[in-house]
Structure 1
Amino acid sequence: MRHLIPSFIRVPVVFFIIVGLVEYFVDSGDQPAFMEQPIIMLFLLLVLLILLAIEGIVGSMDNILYQSLDEEAKARYDSKRAEPSKLTVWVKDTYQKLLGSKPIEQEGEIILDHNYDGIKELDNNLPPWWLYGFYATIIFGVIYMVRYHVLNADDQFAEYEIEYAEAQRAIEEYKKTAKNLVDINTVEILTETADLNAGQKVFEANCVVCHMADGGGGIGPNLTDEYWILGGGIKNVFKTVSEGGRDGKGMVAWKASLKPLEIAQVSSYLLQFQGTTPANPKDPEGDIWVDESAESTDSATDEASESEAESTEEVAEATTVASNN
């Protein structure tokens, strides 16, 4: 009874403060913590029951104390509670100032002579909140005109382009660390031990039955030789594992049961079989696959080396001629 804030407001506020703190300190992924972890929900229910019990006990004690007072003390207590608080008085005074109208008792001072079938008109000033808001819009309009039409600041189209470019850069940065967003265009061979170990687990759980534990092949082709049915290299292998092999007789598509990261891991792991010697290797199938991108890189390096050698020879010849002269 003696609380300024009623319990039906106080209890929910305290409860949701506790819920917010739990959500802040508990990392639960995309969903709220109490949905991801049932133990959190039980804890919050227990907290709510404790708060309700405390409010019930406090309310009962207040009633007991109130009933123990004599009539005079009860009257003083009730009259004190009936008085408006300082906050209430301040809110009402502030509202009247913002409204800017005369009290009913003083409306006789601002009644106009107009009379329409007994309906009279008051000469109230514009409410201060409306008047100051109108002045604020004028100031804003002037600043806006000077900034965007005189000083030619970035308009909404330029700002959109800037923010779009920043968002694209943020997406690209995120993709570098978010391995599970990998696809056929962005996949690269993984060399970290953790990724290869994860790929080995996927291989042993799903691929051993057809390719054997050492990659020598059985129902599926040999993974240790240079022959590939649908192309070698990380991109082709990733596509084959994801989309499946040849129609009707090839490997099933694993994209429905494996995440992109798992496909990249198992693809990187099975490429480790290249050049190894299995116990019972299956005969080669497909064609010898050559990494054209690697060849083009090597050829470019060779050309650069030849060009550098030629330049060195030309410089040496020029130096010899100059010394002879």
Structure 2
Amino acid sequence: MKNKIKSTGYVLFVLITFFALTKAFTSYKNPLNIYENPLVWIALIGFVGVVVLKEIVNFMAIKRATQLQNEKDGIVPEPENAWLKRLLQSWTKSKAIEEEQEIILDHNYDGIKELDNSLPPWWVYMFYATILFAVVYLVRFEVMGGDTQEVEYEKAVAQARIEINKYKATSPDVFNVEDLVLLTDAKDLKRGKAVFNLNCASCHLKDGGGSIGPNLTDEYWILGGGIKNVYNTVAKGGRTGKGMIAWDKTLKPADIAKVSSYVISLQGTTPAKAKAPQGEKWEE
């Protein structure tokens, strides 16, 4: 009678909860939104939990009943880890201590005897695998002339260079200082002047005569003249501790190239108030 009441209660719980969840999923717009419908989640977790718990209890009850019946019938069941022992046995071919007399050899050295154990199958299979690998390796590299690690490395480097050059060709903001040339187009110099007035004029003045920074209109340069040196100076900054900041984190490489070309275009101009020369005279 007690079991019938439990079973009836379980069935009613499952049916009612299932009906309620179905109703919620068909009625609510977002039934699984835990903030809008927390009761749906509570019901769902309770439903799954009760079903799983019921199945666990049933499994344990059946297992216990089978164990009692086996004890009653005098049946000794196979150990739970018997499959693991059989697996180890198949992969090692080891003999139990009780069976060692079957594989003992006639050798006897001062009472020390030797067993004729078989090589473990896993070891034999690995040995065969190394032979197969050696044959494939020999044919691949010595007969068919396959690429060595050095050749593979050189090919990978060459491919990487091709991809880098392709990227540089399609990306206007990527610059190689070694390929940099002086820009003389009016549009580029106009952009360079705008960048200069916005970022550089506070230290060098708008006409390049120099204030905190050096005069940019004469032939003397602290870190070297020419488009490449000027570009590096603008991008990486001046002398440590007393030079200007590095602008490569602020300006795009294209703008650095344009402002550098504009700075060189100031050579030979006459600023209103020129600062005394600094550095060494630069000649191309």
What is the TM-score of this pair, normalised by structure 2? 0.48
Provide TM-score, normalisation by structure 1.
Answer: 0.44
Greater percentage in helix = 1
User: Larger Rg: 1 or 2?
Assistant: 2
